[in-house]
Structure formats: C-alpha cells, structure tokens
C-alpha cells in the first residue's frame, strides 16, 4: 500500500530546517565521532530500550574491549556478557555477537550495506538496519523508532495506534518520502534527536521546535494527545524465594540455562512459590536446595526483599540467609564462590541488589 504526505506539507523546507537545527544543536555522543558501521551498529543495539546517558560509559568500555567485528566475533561469551552487565535485555548482546560472527564468516568482517543482506543478521530488524544503512552508508533508508513515530504522529496528525506493526510500516513509507538526498544519516539522527530533546512524550517543547511551522497536530492544538498508543499488558507477578547459602566465606551461585530469560547468567538459587504459601517458604527452600543442588541447609532469617520488573514479568523476591550443613557434590552449573570474587561473575541487575546484602 502506498502512503502519501499531505499536499500542503513542504518536504524541502521541513528537512532543511530540521537539518539546520541538528547541525547547530546535536549532542556530542561517542558513537558520532565517525561513521564506522560497526560502531553505529553497537550503539543502536545498546540504545534499544536504554537511555543515552546510561549507554555512554558502557559503549566506551565495550568498544575498547571489542573494537572491531572480528574482536567481538572471537571473544568468549562470558567476557561479552560481563561488558554488557547492567544494561539488561541480554538477548541483544547475544544476538549482536552471533551476528558479528555471521559478518566475519560471510562478509569478511565488513558490515553489509544492502537492506536484503543486513536484515538477515541476527537481531537486526527494520529500525537497526535503517540506522546502520543511513548513518554509515548514506543509504536513503528510514530508521523508525519510538521517537520518530511520536514526531511523525504529531507532525502529520496521525491517529493510528503506534503499537501496531502496520503503523510503523506506514510511518516508514512517509519518512522515506522526506529523506533528503546525500544526508540520510543526519536526517534520521535529527528526527531521533528531535523526539528525544524537543518533541518529548509529555509536554513537548513546541515553542522551541525547529519545525514548529510544519506540525499539523500543534496547529490543531492536539500535540499532547498524540501519539495514540494502545495499552500493553501489565507484567505478570512472580513470587520467588532466594537462598544465600554461605559456607566458609563463600556463597552458592548457579548458572542459568543457555536458553530463555537471562540465559547463561549467574544467580543465587531461587524457588518460585505461590503467593499464599507464606508458612511453607522455609520448608520449600530447604527441600529444593536438597533436590536441585544436593546440599542440606538451615534457612535462617530473611535478609530483605527485592523487586525487579521486566517487560512481561515482575519478580517479587524474598531473600533468605541460609547456613550450609552438608553436601559436596554440586551439579555442574553450580559452585561456591568467595564473596570477594563475585564481581568476576555476570549477574542480572536483580541479583546485584541481592549481592549487596552479603556486604550488609
């Protein structure tokens, strides 16, 4: 289906004014020092669902450790996960490394420059592909993220639900018609910058907007009512009992399965419980530690509670200090690690909060 811009929309004036603003106001960000496609790629993966200020130090550290496609492709996964630790959404970096290996094997370490090839890479969807192709290679490809959907919803007074894939496709068609020749990368970054700095989700700064005159929603006074976004399902609550099993200055940790949520990361042993099983928590922990890890423990006092929310789950964790009584034959995924050496292991954010309790 072909979507067209409104007749009164002045494409040249819009892109010219937006780029003039971007040239004078753009932020100094570490991934903008050059247009190396690998650097662009890493930054775009890191910036998914993560704030710019949070990403900056991670990006600099990651690029120092893995400066090229080859370096990332050949790195041990544990080192890559450790460099990503704290950013969350760990499937992003696993997919990134898998894709780097594909690029190394199939393209000689050079990130492909066509939509057909780049979209075959693991974890590279339409947005990431558009960002790399436009920023690194100046291909006139749209890069439509949440910022861009918000800007165009207001700019053209689009009431379509931006949570629906069809709306993203529509906006991609519209953006493609506005991309100026020779400055695709700057234009896409300017749109993202506008959404991040001016056309914000709440209280957009219309009076300082460089494309104020082109915005139909502003003209109609409905800019704060857009974009239209369907409500997502609330995360499902999960109730977990966590065991801090201490033996001679070491604590029991376990590596999660290689597939699924937080795959391959380390954690303190956890047991899922029903919300109404208050009286049985200690007994259940004792039983599960024996069955799963072959260790006999005495569950003592509760150390605290931790809550962590994923996009689809909310972990409600009660943390129990446990004394090791006996049991030496641990499964291959488990080990006792000295408390002072825990920083060498990659833990999810929720378990970092638990780790802090050991020093409390």
Decide: 229 and 161 in contact? Cβ < 8 Å.
yes
Buried/exposed 213-232: b ≥16 CB within 10 Å, e otherwise: ebbbbbeeeebeebbebeee
Q: Strand ranges (DSSP E) for the chain?
A: 236-247, 250-255, 266-267, 270-273, 296-309, 313-326, 334-338
Q: Which of 299, 339, 335, 306 is nearest to 320 (CA)?
A: 299
Please give the structure tokens belonging to residue 313: 């789950």
Decide: 140 and 181 in contact? Cβ < 8 Å.
yes
Q: Which of 104, 90, 110, 79 is nearest to 46 (CA)?
A: 90
Decide: 267 and 351 in contact? Cβ < 8 Å.
yes
> DSSP characters for 258-298?
SSSTTTT-EE--EEEE-TT-GGGHHHHHHHHHHHHH--EEE
Residue that is written with structure tokens 């990659």 in the block: 346
In the residue annotation, 274 being an active-site residue is answered as no
Decide: 178 and 184 in contact? Cβ < 8 Å.
no
Please give the structure tokens belonging to residue 155: 């700019």
Of 8, 44, 138, 193, catalytic: 44
Backbone angles phi, psi at 314, to 5 degrees: -125, 115
Helices then strands, counting H and E runs in the chain, come out as 14, 7
Q: Which residues are catalytic?
A: 44
């Amino acid at each position: 289906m072909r979507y067209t811009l409104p007749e009164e929309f002045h494409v040249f004036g819009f892109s010219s004014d937006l780029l003039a603003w971007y040239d004078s106001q753009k932020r100094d960000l570490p991934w903008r020092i050059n247009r190396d496609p690998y650097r662009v790629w890493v930054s775009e993966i890191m910036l998914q669902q993560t704030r710019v200020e949070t990403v900056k130090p991670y990006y600099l550290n990651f690029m120092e450790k893995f400066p090229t496609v080859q370096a990332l492709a050949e790195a041990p996964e544990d080192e890559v996960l450790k460099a990503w630790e704290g950013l969350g959404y760990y499937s992003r970096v696993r997919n990134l490394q898998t894709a780097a290996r594909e690029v190394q094997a199939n393209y000689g370490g050079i990130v492909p420059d066509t939509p057909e090839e780049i979209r075959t890479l693991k974890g590279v969807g339409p947005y990431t592909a558009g960002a790399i192709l436009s920023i690194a290679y100046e291909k006139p490809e749209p890069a439509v993220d949440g910022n861009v959907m918000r800007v165009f919803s207001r700019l053209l007074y689009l009431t379509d639900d931006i949570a629906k894939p069809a709306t993203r496709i529509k906006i991609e068609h519209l953006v493609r018609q506005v991309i100026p020749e020779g400055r695709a990368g700057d234009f896409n970054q300017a749109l993202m910058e506008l959404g991040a700095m001016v056309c914000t989700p709440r209280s957009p700064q219309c009076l300082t907007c460089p494309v104020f005159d082109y915005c139909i929603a502003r003209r109609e006074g409905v800019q704060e009512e857009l974009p239209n976004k369907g409500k997502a399902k609330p995360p499902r609550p999960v109730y977990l009992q966590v065991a801090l099993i201490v033996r001679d200055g070491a604590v029991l940790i376990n590596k999660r399965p290689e597939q699924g949520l937080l795959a391959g990361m380390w954690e303190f042993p956890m047991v899922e419980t029903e919300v109404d099983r208050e009286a049985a928590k200690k007994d259940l922990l004792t039983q599960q530690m024996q069955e799963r890890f072959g260790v006999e423990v005495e569950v003592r006092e509760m150390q605290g509670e931790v809550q962590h929310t994923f996009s689809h789950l909310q972990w409600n964790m009660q943390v129990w200090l446990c004394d090791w009584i006996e049991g030496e034959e641990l499964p291959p995924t488990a080990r006792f690690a000295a408390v002072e050496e825990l920083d060498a292991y990659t833990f999810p954010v929720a378990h970092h909060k638990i780790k802090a309790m050991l020093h409390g």
